[in-house]
Amino acid sequence: MSTGETSRFVRLRVELVLELDDTDAVTKAALRRIADEPELPDDERAHAEGAVTEDTAEALAYLVDPFDLVSEVPGVELAQASWSCEPVEYDPDSPDWDLDEDDVREDDEEDGVG
């Protein structure tokens, strides 16, 4: 594909597995972030506070901002983002936690396999 035919948009997929060793600290940080949002209407603030208090994954999702990941990258503007957090059972030795199938297939193709 020539430069003139190349899309200006790129989908960046990132999957992270985080170990939470202090869920109270995560919840408190999310509550501080909510408290620091002066433009947040009271009903939305109450809903957000309830959500992050009841679910640590929700608190983490409230703290992680995709804009922060790319805001310092020169020549890039975030066009759209969505993200979510959910508790998972994690076993780093399990084959279920290998690379994404697409990643493996691309690596195999580069090596002449497939």
Measured CA to CA, the distance from residue 102 to residue 84 in angstroms comes to: 21
pTM exceeding the 0.75 threshold for the entire prediction: no
Mean pLDDT, residues 10-30 taken together: 93
Statement: residue 94 has pLDDT above 90: no
Q: Helices (H), strands (E): how many in the chain?
A: 5, 0
Measured CA to CA, the distance from residue 44 to residue 62 in angstroms comes to: 13
Task: Provide the 3-class DSSP secondary structure of residue 62.
Answer: helix
Structure confidence by residue, pLDDT tens digits, 55-93 = 999 999 999 988 888 999 999 999 999 888 888 888 888
Q: Give me the pLDDT at residue 43, please.
A: 96
Q: Give the count of beta carbons closer than 10 Å to the beta carbon of residue 106.
A: 13
Calculate what percentage of the chain has a pLDDT beyond 70.
82
